[in-house]
């Protein structure tokens, strides 16, 4: 029991001794940790003190630098202020000098004003003396000339006006003569080239064709039993046969030139064959129609090859070929189109156009009257219907515009339109190109004479050279030489405004003075 107790006591004592030993070790560790903590705290305090001293030193250095910069800036500003003060002092000195100068000038101006007043007084006296002298001279001139000052001024102004007018008219006349000579020379050259190149034949415009027959017996065969051949012919061709007392000839009448040509060929074949009956008439009419269509196609091809145009729509080519049988004032329309195309090309070349522009201009001239082939079918101006046809067949916009504007229905907007119209007028207005009806010809001559006679001082008027010249005889006592030139210009302007005519009209005013005495 005691052993157990002793063992227990021994265990307890051992445990207590171990605990005490560990406690001492822990206390030793705590002491060492406190010692290290004191060391760390001391080092931190030393480092903080060092950082504080460095911060203080840097702050002092920055403050010193800022102070130096402020002092330098203050020095600079003091220098600027000193300079400004010096400039202000210089300006004050200059202003003082200017004030002294102004005082001197004011004094000089006062003296000059006094001198001017003295001069004005002297000039006033001189002016009064001149006025007195002028009045004396005017009175002396009035006594010598027998007219007042106003009358003398008016006479002088009239004389100066007449001299100026005479000089200006002489200058204008010289300039117009020179310009007319140059224009006429160039125009003659272009028209001569066109005439020499083309030499187009001219036909008479008519709606009737004459066909010769071998004998009078043929008229009865053409008529047929109870007129059945004539009725069959008219039904097959649409052309009327006129049989009258004209020996060995019959007339074919139709407003459509193509149908009239078909009828002429049909009747010609029937007469040469000798067999005339309704069935034969229909057969020959069909053959003639084919021949005419082939001739139309050939004529269109020849026309475009003549002017050098190949890319054209087949339908437009056919319409162009139909114009071979259409005339206008005796001028064949197809020949007129070819001629216009060549003239337009020459005009474009004279104006310096390139090759493509000249080719397009020739196309405008060739197609400008294309609407005349269908005007008998549509009640529209041939210019507008031709433009619509060209537009539908995809012709260039310049060509369409040239077609629709060449007679003024549409305002011209391009150079191609203007040159096409000019070439058209040259082709139609050249000598021998067209034939006017007698009634229109007489009316135009009467109107020319009426316009010239309506002016005051005109004694006689004569329209000469088929209306291409108007000769005006004036009274020499009523119109002088200068007024003759003015009268010719006025008559020309009025003719341009009131009449339409091909080419140009020459106005000649004749003033003749005759002195007559009798010997007794």
The pLDDT tens digits for 452-471 are 888 988 888 888 766 778 88
Distance CA 268, CA 241 (A): 12
CB 474 within 8 A of CB 484: yes
Residue 176: pLDDT band with limits 50, 70, 90: confident
Residue 140, pLDDT score = 64
b/e code 108-131 from CB counts within 10 Å (16+ = b)? eeeeeeeeeeeeeeeeeeeeeeee
Indicate if the pLDDT at residue 263 is higher than 70: yes
- Please state, as a whole number, how many other Cβ atoms lie within 10 Å of the Cβ of residue 11: 10
pLDDT tens figures, 190-206? 656 655 555 555 444 45
| 45, burial (CB in 10 Å: exposed 0-12, middle 13-18, buried 19+) | exposed
The upper half-sphere exposure of residue 284, i.e. CA atoms within 13 Å in the direction of its Cβ, equals: 25
Name the least confident of 47-51, 297-301, 328-332, 504-508.
328-332
Cα dist from 403 to 47, 167, 347, 361, 418, whole Å: 108, 45, 17, 11, 11
Cα dist from 44 to 31, 32, 49, 199, whole Å: 20, 18, 8, 128
Residue 441, pLDDT score = 63
Once rounded to an integer, what is the mean pLDDT over residues 60-74? Answer: 85
Residue 432, pLDDT score = 58
Q: Which residue has the higher pLDDT, 101 or 365?
A: 365
Q: Which residue has the higher pLDDT, 2 or 300?
A: 300
Three-state DSSP state, 60: helix
Residue 469, pLDDT score = 82
pLDDT tens figures, 105-118? 888 888 888 888 88
Question: Any idea what DSSP says for residue 371?
Answer: G
Q: What is the mean pLDDT of the chain?
A: 79
- Please state, as a whole number, how many other Cβ atoms lie within 10 Å of the Cβ of residue 96: 10
φ and ψ at residue 507, rounded to 5 degrees: -105, 120
Name the least confident of 337-351, 416-430, 474-488.
416-430
pLDDT tens figures, 265-275? 888 888 888 88
- All structural domains of the chain: 168-199+308-434 (1.10.3210.10), 203-288 (3.30.1370.10), 438-511 (3.30.300.30)
Name the least confident of 254-263, 301-310, 325-334, 432-441.
432-441
Residue 172, both tokens:
């204008």
Task: Select from 409, 356, 412 the least CA-distant residue to 386.
Answer: 409
CB 384 within 8 A of CB 404: yes
Cα dist from 161 to 154, 158, 166, 170, whole Å: 10, 5, 8, 14
Please give the biggest Cα pair distance in the chain: 219
Q: Which residue has the higher pLDDT, 419 or 431?
A: 419
Indicate if the pLDDT at residue 64 is higher than 80: yes
Indicate if the pLDDT at residue 376 is higher than 60: no
What is this structure's pTM?
0.48
Residue 6, pLDDT score = 66
456 Cβ partners below 8 Å, 6+ apart? 478
DSSP of 229-282: HHHHHHHHH--EEE--S-TTEEEEE-S-HHHHHHHHHHHHHHHHH---SHHHHH
Residue 499, both tokens:
């009449």
């Amino acid at each position: 029991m005691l052993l157990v107790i002793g063992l227990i006591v021994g265990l307890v004592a051992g445990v207590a001794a171990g605990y005490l030993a560990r406690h001492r070790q822990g206390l030793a560790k705590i002491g060492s940790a406190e010692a290290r903590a004191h060391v760390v705290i001391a080092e931190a305090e030393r480092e903080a003190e060092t950082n504080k001293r460095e911060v203080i030193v840097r702050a002092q250095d920055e403050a010193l630098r800022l102070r130096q910069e402020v002092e330098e800036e203050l020095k600079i500003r003091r220098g600027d202020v000193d300079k400004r003060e010096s400039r202000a002092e210089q300006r004050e000195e200059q202003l003082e000098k200017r004030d002294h100068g102004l005082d001197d000038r004011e004094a000089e101006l006062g003296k000059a004003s006094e001198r001017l007043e003295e001069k004005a007084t002297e000039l006033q006296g001189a002016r009064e003396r001149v006025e007195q002298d002028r009045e004396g001279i005017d009175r002396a001139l009035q006594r010598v000339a027998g007219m007042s000052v106003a009358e003398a001024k008016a006479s002088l102004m009239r004389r100066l006006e007449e001299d100026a007018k005479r000089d200006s008219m002489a200058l204008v006349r010289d300039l117009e003569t020179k310009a007319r000579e140059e224009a006429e020379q160039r125009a003659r050259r272009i028209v001569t080239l066109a005439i020499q190149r083309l030499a187009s034949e001219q036909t008479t415009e008519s709606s009737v064709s004459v066909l010769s027959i071998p004998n009078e017996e043929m008229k009865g065969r053409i008529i047929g039993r109870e007129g059945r051949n004539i009725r069959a012919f008219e039904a097959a061709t649409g052309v009327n046969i006129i049989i009258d007392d004209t020996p060995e000839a019959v007339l074919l009448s139709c407003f459509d030139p193509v149908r009239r040509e078909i009828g002429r060929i049909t009747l010609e074949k029937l007469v040469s064959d000798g067999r005339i009956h309704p069935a034969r008439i229909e057969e020959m009419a069909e053959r003639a129609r084919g021949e005419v269509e082939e001739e139309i196609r050939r004529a269109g091809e020849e026309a475009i090859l003549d002017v050098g145009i190949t890319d054209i729509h087949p339908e437009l080519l056919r319409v162009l070929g139909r114009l071979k049988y259409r005339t206008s004032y005796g001028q064949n329309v197809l020949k007129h189109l070819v001629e216009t195309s060549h003239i337009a090309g020459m005009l474009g070349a004279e104006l310096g156009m390139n090759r493509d522009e000249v080719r397009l201009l020739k196309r405008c001239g060739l197609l400008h009257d294309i609407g005349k082939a269908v005007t008998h079918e549509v009640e529209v101006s041939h210019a507008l219907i031709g433009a619509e046809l060209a537009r539908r067949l995809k012709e260039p916009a310049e060509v369409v515009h040239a077609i629709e504007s060449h007679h003024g229905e549409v305002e011209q907007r391009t150079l191609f339109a203007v040159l096409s119209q000019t070439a058209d007028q040259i082709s139609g207005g050249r000598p021998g190109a067209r034939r006017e009806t007698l009634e229109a010809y007489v009316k135009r001559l009467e109107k020319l004479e009426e316009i010239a006679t309506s002016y005051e001082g005109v004694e006689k008027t004569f329209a000469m050279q088929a209306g291409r010249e108007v000769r005006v005889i004036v009274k020499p006592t009523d119109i002088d030489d200068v007024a003759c030139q003015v009268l010719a210009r006025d008559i020309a302007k009025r003719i341009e405004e009131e009449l339409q005519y091909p080419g140009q009209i020459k106005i000649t005013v004749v003033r003749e003075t005759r002195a007559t005495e009798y010997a007794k």
